[in-house]
Structure 1
Amino acid sequence: MKLLLDENLSPKLPAMLADLYPGTSQIELIGLRGATDTVVWEYAKAEDYVLVSKDNDFRQRSFQYGAPPKVVWLSVGNAGTAVILRLVRESREQIEDFAAAPEAALLILAIGGMW
């Protein structure tokens, strides 16, 4: 299971998550900085990524289109990279279960727990 981190997340995160999520990347690192949501969505779908964002746009797209790609929405407000890193690392089992569930399209992770 590999994650594609949205542009609103630090390009440093993939290296910090590589031990738990091999193959993880970030929009800027794959040359899609500034790309439309549609382009990012289709790329994640074609490359079998789980899309991770703290933007409402991909959460809404998940409601509208379903999976693939699967979307992990981080309900973290303006939390910094350290908080996001901890949340994604500590939620590995939930993310893994979500990725393996055929009917699941959206996983919401929040600081202090999962919804």
Structure 2
Amino acid sequence: MKLLFDQNLSHKLVARLADLFPDSSHVQFHGLAEKTDTEIWEFAKANDFCIVTQDADFAERSRLYGYPPKVLWLRCGNAPAKQVEALLRSGAEAIQELLDNSKLHCLELH
């Protein structure tokens, strides 16, 4: 499964994290930057992406509907891309568990 970075995260994260999460993308690369959460959710579901977001709405949607798609909810506030990258790198093992474990639908990283 690939990561799909939400609009509230830097598109630069795709390249910065390509060594850990190849084939990941950003919503703006798919014309989804101004789309609704539902449209992003359906795109991620249809294209086997895990949504990476700072938006609680996706985590709530995950609780209501389960997966796919899975959701990676970053709880680091409005942090610079380098800090977000560091958080994702330090949480790589937990993220891989989310992606691999059929019983998990959402992971919060702090």
Task: Report the counterpart of residue 42 of structure 1 in structure 2.
Answer: 42
* Aligned Cα root-mean-square deviation (Å): 0.8
Give the match's secondary structure for 2:84: helix
Calculate the TM-score normalised by the size of structure 2.
0.96
Give the match's secondary structure for 1:107: strand
**What do the CA deviations read for 1:85-107 (whole angstroms, capped 9, x no partner)?**
10111211110011111011110
Task: Report the counterpart of residue 20 of structure 1 in structure 2.
Answer: 20
CA distance in 1, matches of 2:14, 2:78: 19
Give the match's secondary structure for 1:9: coil
**What do the CA deviations read for 1:1-35 (whole angstroms, capped 9, x no partner)?**
31000010001110101111000100011211100
CA distance in 1, matches of 2:14, 2:30: 12
Aligned length: 110
| Aligned residue identity for 2:29 | L
The runs of 5 or more residues in structure 1 that have no matched partner are 111-115
| Aligned residue identity for 2:31 | G
Task: Report the counterpart of residue 54 of structure 1 in structure 2.
Answer: 54
After TM superposition, the runs of 4+ consecutive aligned structure 1 residues lying more than 6 A away are none
Task: Report the counterpart of residue 29 of structure 1 in structure 2.
Answer: 29
**What do the CA deviations read for 1:13-67 (whole angstroms, capped 9, x no partner)?**
1010111100010001121110000000001011001110001110111111111
Task: Report the counterpart of residue 89 of structure 1 in structure 2.
Answer: 89
CA distance in 2, matches of 1:23, 1:52: 14
Identity of matched residues, %: 46
